[in-house]
């Protein structure tokens, strides 16, 4: 689940050379991200697993913002990471997407490595106490799902449990672990459709592309998703998305990425799904948000921050030129065309009907007014100019 | 390396037998940029049986069209489209590449930009060509200046100096399609594509009925803002009264001048979810950056302060009338006809004048 901290108020925007200085502003979570939270919550109720929140920006600002999300919706976020590093400051969408893609890969990888660790103990020694103690250690660190090892009374058929009771052989246990590992690679990334500061909507699809490159496989994406569901096995997501006047139903294999529309309303999940979801859940939450630096991500510094951003924000410009203004009931205008006005040997004009009366000698201005050539700009003249 | 990149590419969207209005606008934008650069405009078109559309693109300003024509492209499927377009980019290296800033254009452009390792400036309202000097990076000749609403109170210039193509999405409603020239000739070139297996597929596409409210085609837009909740003395007013006034003005204009008028609203009013206006005003009415961009002959803003996000959605209107009690409201900076006053008093005067009544004193 991708989140962003955006300026809380448009009146307090600190910029340094066109780049927002997020450290100097009050931040709030991007309002569009609320839909990503709802979507992630739906997924956890539907098929279980873990909700990992990932953001990028000043950790001191973001961690307090993200903390309430541990209790958000029904299930809440399980883990939170903030990509925070001076080297990432000033990133445009490309550089942001690069860093976030690395973050996604690392967050997923964190859960794959423990499966390998446990498998290594099993293949080395077969069943021994070492297997159980390794599993317990990883489980308590929230790194193994209940289906691998569990201390929940309701879960009696974890892989380690059946293996320890002789129900399955070491080879069978390893095969099952391989399956678990594969399923952990079938993640979904959800994000809002855009942020309220940049308003680009680019980072979602660009992270799908970035993760595709990092994993060496195509991660499909769907933007503006109004409705979606996953199959029971957690292999496929079907989403409905708006493209202009079309609603497209897109079926995607996992891993995939969705940006969630403001029109999204989570479906209800039935109680019957709970046992299956529980098998995919982890023991608890890591309530301490973690900061990941560029080094933690093993990022290429040339691709981060200002240096890694293809776009440069230049100077701002004002919107349009100020128009010639006529104030109803106040401005004085020509009520008819005056090709020429002679006054004290000088020629003035021509003046068009409706034209604002320019600076004129007072006596001439009075004369024109007296002749009915000029007058106050009223509603009749306005309507004539608008629709005539 | 960037020196050899050339041509301004325009991604063309189609709606059955026609190029979309958004695409014709982007073609006009591309034409403007290409003329300033002395380069060609190349339309990029993907579909099944699109040769006639390619000819249309030439009539509307393209110098050539590079197209993929295959049943595989009959339905929009982002991954296949992205692969096909990226293959073109990689082989031909365009100087600039423009898309419409709508759902489809943004869906494609973002991923193509990432894969091409280049910048993408979204939602541009204006494109220019200028030399650009950056103290750290040096001088760049003839860059495309991408001008988009910035967060805050201004428009920002975005440059993509070092990477090609310079990619941008163009906000609908900001460029006028060129007049078609049936005699214009251009080079139509079919581009090969190799299909692949994708971990996704389109199951179904359903067309929604046309929107009830087509604001982009209106001659006159009468918009309401949060200011309608109070009268000139600051006392609360039933916003339905303002809506009735707007309706009255709309009907008067339509009857007298045979113009098409619609009622719009600011984002602030839509987001306020005013109970009295339920079922009368919805997101479909919203004008502005997150709503619809309109460019009617006449825009009448009632009780709208005019935040930049609203202004970018209506500043192209031919004539702008603004009624607001606050003389410092930003809307007055761009209004041709500022009316500082209480809309509950001013609009009836306007209506009576439109219906042909006697001029009202005041």
Q: Looking at the domain assignment, is residue A369 inside a domain?
A: yes
Residue A298 and residue A345 share a domain: no
What phi and psi values does residue A51 have, to the nearest 5 degrees? -100, 120
Q: Which of B30, B44, B29 is nearest to B87 (CA)?
A: B44
Quick check: A327 and B340 CB within 8 A? Answer: yes
Residue A104 and residue A201 share a domain: yes
Cβ of residue B101 closer than 8 Å to a chain A Cβ: no
Cβ of residue B282 closer than 8 Å to a chain A Cβ: no
Preferred mutation among A104, A204, A261, A310 to probe B, highest tally of B CBs within 10 A: A310
In CATH, what number is assigned to the domain containing residue A216?
3.40.50.620
Q: Looking at the domain assignment, is residue A367 inside a domain?
A: yes
Cβ of residue B360 closer than 8 Å to a chain A Cβ: yes
Residue A221, CA distances (Å) to A167, A239, A264 in order: 41, 10, 16
Q: Which of B115, B120, B147 sits opposite A317 (nearest CB)?
A: B147
Q: Which residues of A touch B362 (CB under 8 A)?
A: 329
CA distance B159 to B278: 43
Give percent of chain B with pLDDT exceeding 70: 97
Q: Most distant CA pair in chain B: distance in Å? A: 74
By C-alpha distance, the chain A residue nearest B115 is: A209
Residue B212: pLDDT over 80? no
Preferred mutation among B5, B22, B103 to probe A, highest tally of A CBs within 10 A: B103
Secondary structure class of B354 (helix, strand, coil): helix
Preferred mutation among A14, A34, A94, A96 to probe B, highest tally of B CBs within 10 A: A94
Secondary structure class of B11 (helix, strand, coil): strand
Residue B2: pLDDT over 50? no
Q: Which of B31, B49, B48 is nearest to B40 (CA)?
A: B31
Q: Which of A221, A379, A387 sits opposite B349 (nearest CB)?
A: A379
Q: What is the pLDDT of residue B120?
A: 98
- Strand B126-134 vs strand B138-149: parallel, antiparallel, or unpaired? antiparallel
* pLDDT tier at B316, thresholds 50, 70, 90: confident
Q: Which residues of B touch A197 (CB under 8 A)?
A: 151
Residue B360: pLDDT over 60? no
Q: Looking at the domain assignment, is residue A172 inside a domain?
A: yes
Q: Looking at the domain assignment, is residue A315 inside a domain?
A: no
Residue A84 and residue A20 share a domain: yes
Residue A151 and residue A108 share a domain: yes
Preferred mutation among B111, B155, B161 to probe A, highest tally of A CBs within 10 A: B111
Secondary structure class of B312 (helix, strand, coil): coil
CB B128 within 8 A of CB B155: no
* pLDDT tier at B1, thresholds 50, 70, 90: very low
Residue B181: pLDDT over 60? yes
Number of structural domains (chain A) is: 2
Q: What is the pLDDT of residue B99?
A: 98
On average, the pLDDT of chain B sits at 92
Q: Which residues of A touch B354 (CB under 8 A)?
A: 383, 387
In this prediction, residues B157-179 reach a mean pLDDT of: 95
Last residue of a domain, one of A283, A303, A323: A303
Q: Looking at the domain assignment, is residue A327 inside a domain?
A: no
Q: Which of B107, B199, B353 sits opposite A383 (nearest CB)?
A: B353
Burial class of residue A365, CB neighbours in 10 A (0-12, 13-18, 19+): middle
CA distance A323 to A329: 18
Quick check: A251 and B201 CB within 8 A? Answer: yes
Give B186's DSSP letter: -
CA distance B207 to A242: 10
In this prediction, residues B25-40 reach a mean pLDDT of: 98
Q: What is the pLDDT of residue B292?
A: 87
Residue B320: pLDDT over 50? yes
Last residue of a domain, one of A303, A324, A343: A303
CA distance B66 to A216: 29
Residue A255 and residue A371 share a domain: no
DSSP of A80-145 = EEEE--GGGTT--HHHHHHHHHHHHHHHHHHHHHHHHHHHHHHHHHSSSHHHHHHHHHHHHTT-S-
The residues that bridge with A158 in the sheet, in sequence order, are none
Give B142's DSSP letter: E
Q: Residue A13 has which token pair? A: 């925007």
Burial string for B122-161 (b: 16+ CB within 10 Å, else e) reads bbbbbbebeebeeeeeeebeebbbbbbbbbbbebbbbbbb
What phi and psi values does residue B333 have, to the nearest 5 degrees? -65, -30
Residue A357 and residue A286 share a domain: no
Residue A284 and residue A362 share a domain: no
Burial class of residue A156, CB neighbours in 10 A (0-12, 13-18, 19+): exposed
Q: Which residue would you say has higher pLDDT here, B91 or A271?
A: B91
Q: What is the pLDDT of residue B215?
A: 87
Nearest CA distance, A6 vs chain B (angstrom):
10
Quick check: A312 and B160 CB within 8 A? Answer: yes
Quick check: B151 and A198 CB within 8 A? Answer: yes
By C-alpha distance, the chain A residue nearest B256 is: A387
Q: Which of A91, A6, A76 is nearest to A41 (CA)?
A: A76
Residue A283 and residue A153 share a domain: yes
Q: What is the pLDDT of residue A318?
A: 66
ipTM reported for the complex, 2 dp: 0.85
What global pTM score does this model have?
Answer: 0.83
Contacts of residue A360, Cβ cutoff 8 Å, sequence gap at least 6: A348, A368
Residue pairs between chains A and B whose CB atoms are closer than 8 Å:
224
Q: Looking at the domain assignment, is residue A323 inside a domain?
A: no
1-20 in chain B: CB under 8 A from chain A:
none
* pLDDT tier at B359, thresholds 50, 70, 90: very low
Quick check: B160 and A311 CB within 8 A? Answer: yes
**Per-10-residue mean pLDDT for chain A, 388 residues long?**
84 64 83 94 95 96 94 93 96 97 97 97 89 96 97 95 94 97 96 88 97 98 97 95 93 98 91 92 94 98 96 79 82 92 91 90 92 92 88
Quick check: B157 and A223 CB within 8 A? Answer: no
Q: What is the pLDDT of residue B351?
A: 94
E strand segments, chain A: 2-3, 5-7, 15-16, 19-20, 27-29, 52-56, 79-83, 188-192, 221-230, 236-243, 246-253, 256-260, 290-292, 312-317, 332-334, 341-343, 346-348, 374-376
By C-alpha distance, the chain B residue nearest A214 is: B115
Nearest CA distance, B40 vs chain A (angstrom):
23
Residue B358: pLDDT over 70? no
Q: Looking at the domain assignment, is residue A31 inside a domain?
A: yes
Residue A247 and residue A376 share a domain: no
**Which domain covers residue A377, as residue numbers?**
332-387
- Structural domains in chain B, CATH included, are 2-190 (3.40.50.620), 215-354 (3.40.50.1220)
Last residue of a domain, one of A303, A319, A343: A303
Over residues A278-330, the pLDDT tens digits come to 999 999 999 999 999 999 999 999 999 999 999 999 888 765 556 788 998 88
Residue A341 and residue A221 share a domain: no
Residue A233 and residue A114 share a domain: yes
Q: What is the pLDDT of residue A322?
A: 66
Cβ of residue B354 closer than 8 Å to a chain A Cβ: yes
Residue B347: pLDDT over 90? yes
Q: Looking at the domain assignment, is residue A325 inside a domain?
A: no
Consecutive H or E run containing B139:
strand B138-149
Rg (CA), chain A: 32
Quick check: B157 and A382 CB within 8 A? Answer: no
Q: What is the pLDDT of residue B307?
A: 86
Cβ of residue B323 closer than 8 Å to a chain A Cβ: no
Residue A340 and residue A292 share a domain: no
């Amino acid at each position: 689940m991708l989140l962003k901290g955006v300026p809380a108020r448009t009146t307090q925007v600190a910029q340094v050379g066109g780049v927002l200085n997020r450290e100097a502003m009050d931040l709030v979570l991007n309002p569009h991200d609320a839909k990503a939270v709802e979507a992630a919550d739906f997924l956890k109720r539907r098929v279980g697993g873990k909700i990992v929140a990932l953001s990028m920006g000043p950790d001191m600002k973001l961690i307090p913002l993200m903390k309430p999300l541990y209790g958000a919706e029904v299930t809440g976020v399980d883990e939170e990471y903030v990509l925070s590093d001076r080297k990432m400051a000033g990133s445009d969408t490309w550089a942001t997407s690069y860093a976030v893609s690395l973050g996604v890969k690392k967050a997923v990888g964190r859960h794959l490595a423990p499966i390998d660790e446990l498998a290594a103990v099993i293949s080395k020694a077969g069943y021994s106490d070492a297997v159980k103690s390794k599993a317990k250690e990883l489980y308590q660190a929230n790194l193994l799902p209940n289906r691998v090892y569990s201390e929940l009374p309701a879960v009696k058929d974890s892989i380690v449990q059946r293996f320890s009771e002789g129900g399955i052989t070491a080879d069978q246990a390893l095969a099952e672990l391989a399956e678990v590992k594969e399923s952990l690679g079938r993640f979904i990334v959800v994000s809002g459709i855009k942020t309220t500061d940049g308003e680009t909507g680019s980072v979602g699809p660009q992270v799908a592309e970035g993760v595709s490159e990092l994993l060496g496989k195509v991660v499909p994406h769907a933007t503006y998703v109004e409705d979606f569901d996953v199959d029971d096995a957690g292999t496929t997501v079907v989403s409905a998305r708006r493209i202009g006047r079309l609603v497209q139903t897109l079926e995607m294999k996992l891993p995939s990425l969705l940006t969630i529309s403001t029109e999204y309303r989570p479906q209800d999940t039935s109680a019957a799904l709970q046992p299956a979801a529980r098998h995919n859940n982890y023991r608890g939450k890591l309530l301490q948000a973690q900061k990941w630096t560029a080094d933690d991500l093993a990022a290429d510094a040339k691709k981060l921050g200002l240096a890694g951003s293809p776009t440069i924000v230049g100077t701002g410009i004002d919107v349009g030129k100020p128009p010639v203004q006529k104030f109803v009931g106040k401005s004085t205008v020509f009520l008819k065309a005056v090709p020429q006005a002679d006054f004290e040997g000088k020629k003035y004009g021509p003046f068009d009907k409706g034209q604002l009366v320019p600076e004129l000698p007072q006596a001439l201005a009075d004369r024109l007014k007296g002749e009915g050539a000029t007058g106050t700009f009223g509603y009749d003249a306005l309507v004539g100019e608008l629709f005539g | 390396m960037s020196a050899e990149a050339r041509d301004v590419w325009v991604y063309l969207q189609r709606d059955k037998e026609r190029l979309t209005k958004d695409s014709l606008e982007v073609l006009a934008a591309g034409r403007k940029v290409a003329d300033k650069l002395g380069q060609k405009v190349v339309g990029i078109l993907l579909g099944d049986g699109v040769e006639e559309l390619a000819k249309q693109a030439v009539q509307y300003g393209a110098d050539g069209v590079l197209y993929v024509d295959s049943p595989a492209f009959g339905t929009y499927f982002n991954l296949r489209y992205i692969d096909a377009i990226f293959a073109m980019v990689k082989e031909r290296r365009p100087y600039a590449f423009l898309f419409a800033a709508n759902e489809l254009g943004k869906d494609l452009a973002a991923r193509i930009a990432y894969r091409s390792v280049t910048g993408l400036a979204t939602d541009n309202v204006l494109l220019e060509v200028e030399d650009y000097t950056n103290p750290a990076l040096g001088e760049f000749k003839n860059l495309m200046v991408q001008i988009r609403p910035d967060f805050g109170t201004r428009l920002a210039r975005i440059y993509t100096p070092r990477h090609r193509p310079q990619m941008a999405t163009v906000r609908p409603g900001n460029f006028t399609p060129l007049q078609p020239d049936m005699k214009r000739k251009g080079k139509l070139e079919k581009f090969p594509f190799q299909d692949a297996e994708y971990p996704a597929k389109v199951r179904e596409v359903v067309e929604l009925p046309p929107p009830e409210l087509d604001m982009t085609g209106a001659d006159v837009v009468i918009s309401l803002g949060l200011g309608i909740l109070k009268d000139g003395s600051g006392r609360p007013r039933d916003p339905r009264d303002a809506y009735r006034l707007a309706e009255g003005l709309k009907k008067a204009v339509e009857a007298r001048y045979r113009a098409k008028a619609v009622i719009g609203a600011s984002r602030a009013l839509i987001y306020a979810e005013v109970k009295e206006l339920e079922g009368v005003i919805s997101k479909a009415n919203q004008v502005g950056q997150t709503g619809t961009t309109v460019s009617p002959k006449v825009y009448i803003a009632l009780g709208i302060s005019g935040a930049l996000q609203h202004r970018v959605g209506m500043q192209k209107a031919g004539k702008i009338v603004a009624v607001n009690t606050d003389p410092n409201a930003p809307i007055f900076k761009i209004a041709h006809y500022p009316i500082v006053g209480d809309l509950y008093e001013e609009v009836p005067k306007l209506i009576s004048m439109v219906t042909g009544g006697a001029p009202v004193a005041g």
